[in-house]
Structure 1
Amino acid sequence: MPESRDSLLADCRQLMATGKWNEARSRLEHALAAAPTDVLIAYTLATAYRLSAAADRAVPLFGNLHNAVPDMPEAAVGLAFSLAELGRTRDAETVLRRFSVRHPGQASPYTALGEIRLKSGMFDGLSRPFAAATAIAPSADALGNLAEILSHERSFDAAERLYRLALEKTPGVPSLELNYAVHLLSQGLLEEGWKHFEARLDPALPDSPIRTLSLPRWDGMAAADRHLLVVSEQGLGDEIRLGAMLPILAENAGSLTVECDPRLLPLYRRSMPSVTFHAFSRVKRSGRGHYSYGWLPKDDGPDCYIEIGSLPLMLTRGQIPLGHTDGFLTTSKPLQDRIGSTLRATAGDRHLVGLSWASGAKQFGRAANYPPLDSWRQLLNLPDICLVSLQYGTAAESVKEMSETIGREILHLDELDLRDDLDSLAALEASLDLVLSVGNATAALAGAVGTTTLELLSFPGWVPLLEEQDFFLGATRRIAQRQLGDWKYPVERARALALRHLGKR
């Protein structure tokens, strides 16, 4: 019996949800070839292209669909996002504005316009399209979107009112609760913020972890009588930052096993010898981490588990900054001595300043989180310094471009693998006098080994701050924009702090 269209689409959506993009796309392509005028098949295939990082293939398909069904908001929105992901932001705006003129009662194009402008770094009047969407359809999603932007713009009271209204309308929506948690934590409202931060674990979220783990979850009580398993869940930088709580937990737990990124094993085992560390067994599918636990011992293993991101909620110290001003990770002394000697041979008596100006993440919208190269020229005009690149991967071209932009040589140690050999990266950063960085794992590791670190951010995110001090890493100052899109304050503030710090050495 021939497969029905509804069955095909349901199967393909399930394949997409589990990261099996090639199979989903192949089946949809065959289906569309057999039924070239089927709107739902065409839309689902175009969406599969866009979500699997093939926006170049999504654009013509969404374009044809938009022309054929000009009143379909999903086609207009899909086309706009695909164009924006190819860097054609103005074309994306044109599609959405024209659709909104023809259909002023549709909220989704206004929301899409706001999201595209946010991710493209076009912050002027950013709240207006979200406000328009809310006026048309004051749903919990629309209220939450507007609240998130107002919180980013530091209109905290207005954001708070909208968040509470949205949560009252539709309680228990994990994405809304998680955004509300970030709103609270960014203001230092920790007790309530950490409670709402638990929403990140809801399986309804597309990036929440999936585990083959039968242990009960720790409730935060009677740690001294427990063998606890701390499980990994977030990106590397978050894992390092949250790792600052492990020494506290180790002091209170009867026994402690920690699952972590395999690149952290040498550092963690050296720094916390009383703790058992094991590399996670993880497969990423469609942005979601699938963790398996065949490595756990059959006897004398952990009797309960807790996610590393829940430690601030579970531990009583979760309400005050940890203050690890000297760092909590111990580097390899021979490795640090060797790297330090190499650096000093070039720098002489100059201060060694590490520099990381971009993240390895390439998703659409990430560039808005980083200062443009020209902004670094003013910041890096510091006396008596030797700049050291902390960029990883094939960094030669990036280092050359930055060096030409700021008019200063940047030392890059080509022999070090700064992405996968975190022991070497930690030793390099511990040899420096100062690190200047955007918010990434490189910056988190620098603070974790105790090197004074200044992070330049568009928005502080979920990490609480006390007068710019990182809640978890006392050696780190996180300097966020005062106005979205304006890097003037972070650059000037970081320069002043750098001069003060280097002047003391």
Structure 2
Amino acid sequence: MPENRDSLLADCQQLMANGKWNEARSRLENAFTASPNDVLIAYTLASACRLSGASDRAALLFHAIHTALPDMAEAATGLAFSLAELNRANEATNLLRQYLVRHPEQASAYGALAEIWMKSGVFAAVTRTFKATAILAPTADNLGNLAESLSLQRSFELAEQHYQRALAKAPGSAKLQLNYAVHLLTQGKTNEGWKYFEARLHPDVADAPIRILSLPRWDGNTLADKHILVVSEQGLGDEIRLAAMLPELAGKARALTVECDPRLVSLFKRSIPSVNFHAFSRIKKSGRGHYTYGWLPRDGGPECYIEIGSLPLMLGHGLTMPENVGGFLVPSVTLQDEIDDKLRVAAKGRSLVGLSWASSARQFGRATNYPPPESWRRLLDLPDICLVSLQYGAAARAVKEIEEATGHKVLQLEELDLRDDLEALAALEASLDLVLSVGNATAALSGAVGTKTLELLASPGWVPLLNDRDSFLGATHRVAQQQLGDWIYPVERVRELALTHLRKR
């Protein structure tokens, strides 16, 4: 018997809400084949395709619906987002602007336009457009988007007003609470910021982890007689940065077990021998990490757990400079000596400066996080240095591109796997005099081994800063834009810090 259309759509909407986009897409593809003229099935399928990363298929579906129903706001915005994700942002914004000429009252189209502009690096009209959205439809989401854009522009007082209005309308919104946490932490307001940061664990947050774990969560009480498990949840760079708090936690607990990225196990074990480290057992489904714990012992194992991202809250991490200026991770001495010998021969007495200018993440909107080539050209004009590539993946091509863009030669140790062999990356970075980087795991590891590290950021994100100093990694400065899209301040400030550091050698 054919599946009831309404129940199918309801089921698929629930699957999508739970992050099971591919499962929803499979069922909807079958329904679409049977009923290709059903607009609701086509629209829901297009949405599932877009969420699962099939932007090309989503764009075709949304385009067909938009052509048939040019006044349908959902089709126009869905098509615009799909085009933007296919690196066709100009087409996307033109489509929305034309739609708004016909429908100037449509709040969702203003919101989509502002979001695409922001992710494209066209910041001039972003806040004004989000404001129009919030005026037309003062929902919690629209007020929150306006507040977020104001906070990114460092209009903190005005952003606070809109965040409070949004939170009053939707006090249980995990997404809103998480954005508000970043707003607070950016200002150094850690007491409240870390509390709101707990919202990242809510199932409504798209990348919140899922665990099969029967232990109780640590409630903050004394650990003197407890064996505690710290569980993984964040990206690699966040995991490295937050691991700076593990020695403190180890001093409070009877025993400490930590799950971590498999690439970090040997490095962590050498560096903090009092802690038991174990590689996580994780698979990724629809953007979420699913963790299992069959590796835990049945007897004598941990009695409670805590997420590594909750350590700042539980340990009361405030705005104080960390004491680990010399790093807290210890690379392999043998490996470091081998790499150091190669580097010093190549450097011929010049200072060794590591360089990481991009991340492997290529989602729409990521490019605005990285300085353009002309900024690197100015920054790398430092006296008597030998630049060393810290890029991984298709590094040879990336090195050639940065050399052509900046006019500076970059040394690449091609025999090192800087993505999967973090022991090699740690040893390489420990052999350098200075690291210049965008905000990524490479920069976090550099600061963690104690190498002076200068990060260039579009925004500081969730990491509280004290006069541009990282509050977790004592060797790291994180210099963020003062105005969205303007790399002048970060580049000049990092260049000044680099010159000062190199003069002291």
Query: Would the aligned equivalents of 2:114 and 2:125 in 1 still touch at CA under 8 Å?
Result: no
After superposition, where does 1:174-213 map in structure 2 within 5 Å?
174-213=174-213
1:88 alignment partner in structure 2 = 88
Offset at residue 328 of structure 1 (A):
0.7
Per the alignment, residue 113 of structure 1 pairs with: 113
Distance, in Å, in 2 between the alignment partners of 1:80 and 1:378 is: 36
Q: Does 1:385 align with 2:390?
A: no
| Equivalent-residue separation in structure 2 for 1:199 and 1:32 (angstroms) | 36
Written as runs of structure 1 = structure 2, the 5 A alignment for 1:1-150 is: 1-16=1-16, 21-150=21-150
> Is 2:240–2:445's contact at 8 Å kept on the other side of the alignment?
yes
Structure-to-structure mapping, 1:464-503, within 5 angstroms: 464-503=464-503
How much does 1:23 deviate?
Answer: 4.7
CA distance in 2 between counterparts of 1:414 and 1:19 reads: 38
Residue aligning to 2:373: 373
Equivalent residue number for residue 214 of structure 1: 214
Q: Secondary structure at the match of 1:223?
A: coil
Determine the structure 2 residue equivalent to 1:363.
363
Letter in 2 for 1:292: T
Tell me which moved more, 50-59 or 488-497: 50-59
List per-residue Cα deviations over 1:465-497 (Å, max 9, x = no partner): 000000100100000001100001111111111
TM-score, with structure 2 as normaliser: 0.98
Shift of 1:202: 0.8
Deviations 1:419-461 (A, max 9, x none): 0100100000000000000000000000000000000000000
For the structure 1 residues 281 and 211, does the alpha-carbon distance in structure 2 shift closer, same or farther, using more than 3 Å as the test?
same
Shift of 1:16: 4.5
Cα distance between partner residues in 2 of 1:47 and 1:99: 20
SS in 2 for 1:429: helix
Deviation per residue, 1:363-402 (Å, 9 max, x gap):
1100010001121000001111000000001211110010
The alpha-carbon deviation at position 265 of structure 1 amounts to 0.3
The alpha carbon displacement at 1:64 in A equals 0.9
The answer as to 2:268 corresponding to 1:286 is no
Shift of 1:15: 4.9
- C-alpha deviation, 1:30, in angstroms: 2.8
Deviation string 1:155-178 (CA, Å, 9 cap, x unpaired) is 000001111111112112111011
Question: Is the 2:319–2:466 contact (alpha carbons within 8 Å) kept by the matching residues of 1?
Answer: no
Structure 1 stretches lacking a partner, 5+ long? none
Q: Is the 8 A contact 2:107 2:134 kept in 1?
A: yes
Which secondary structure does the structure 1 equivalent of 2:461 belong to? coil
Matched, 1:408 2:408: yes
Matches for 1:235-254 after TM superposition, within 5 Å: 235-254=235-254
What CA RMSD, in Å, does the superposition of the two structures yield over aligned residues?
1.3
Q: Secondary structure at the match of 2:294?
A: coil
Total equivalences in the alignment: 505
TM-score norm. by structure 1 comes to 0.98
User: What is the one-letter code of the residue matched to 2:278?
Assistant: H
Indicate the larger mover: 420-429 or 3-12. Answer: 3-12
Using the alignment, how far apart are the partners of 1:113 and 1:34 within structure 2? 34
* Residues 251-290 of structure 1 aligned to structure 2 (within 5 Å): 251-290=251-290
Query: 2-side partners of 1:30 and 1:46: how far apart?
Result: 13
Match of 1:418? 418
Following superposition, the deviation at residue 6 of structure 1 comes to: 2.1
1:498 deviates by 0.4
Partner of 1:154: 154
Q: Once superposed, which parts of structure 1, at least 4 consecutive aligned residues long, lie more than 6 Å away?
A: none
Q: Which amino acid aligns with 1:235?
A: G
Per-residue deviation, 1:239: 0.5
Task: Mark the CA change 1:18 to 1:177 in structure 2 (over 3 Å): closer, same or farther.
Answer: closer
Indicate conservation of the 8 Å contact 2:468/2:477, yes or no: yes
Structure 2, gaps ≥5 residues long: none
Q: Which amino acid aligns with 2:76?
A: A
Q: Any idea what the Cα deviations from partners look like across 1:194-224, whole Å, max 9, x if unmatched?
A: 1111111111111111110111110111121
Q: Report the 3-state secondary structure (helix = DSSP H, G, I; strand = E; otherwise coil) of the residue aligned with 2:352.
A: strand
Distance 1:226 1:87 in 2: 52
Cα deviation, 1:259-302, whole Å, max 9, x if unaligned, reads 10110001100001110001111111111111111111000010
* Partner SS for 1:224: coil
Equivalent position SS for 2:283: strand
Hey, what's the Cα distance between the residues in 2 that align with 1:69 and 1:4? 25
Q: Does 1:429 align with 2:421?
A: no
- How far off is 1:321 after superposition? 3.5
Q: How far does the alpha carbon of each residue in 1:248-267 deviate from its partner, in whole angstroms, 9 at most, with x for none? A: 10111111000101100011
* Counterpart residue type for residue 490 of structure 1: P
Please show how residues 325-364 of structure 1 align to structure 2 within 5 Å.
Answer: 325-364=325-364
1:103-135 Cα shifts (integer Å, max 9, x gaps):
222211111111101111111121011000000
Q: Name the stretch that deviates more: 3-12 or 209-218.
A: 3-12
> Within 1, Cα distance between the matches of 2:192 and 2:116?
31
With 166-175 and 257-266 compared, the bigger mean Cα shift is at 166-175
Letter in 1 for 2:94: T
CA contact (8 A) 2:319 2:464 kept: no
Q: CA deviation at 1:319?
A: 5.2
Structure 1 contact 17–286 (Cα < 8 Å) conserved: no
Match for residue 310 of structure 2?
310
Contact kept in structure 1, 2:464 and 2:471, CA below 8 Å = yes
1:99 CA displacement: 1.8
CA contact 2:258–2:277 (8 Å) conserved in 1:
yes
Q: Secondary structure, in 3 states, of the residue corresponding to 1:225? A: coil
Q: Following the alignment from structure 2 to structure 1, what is the Cα–Cα distance between the partners of residues 322 and 88?
A: 44
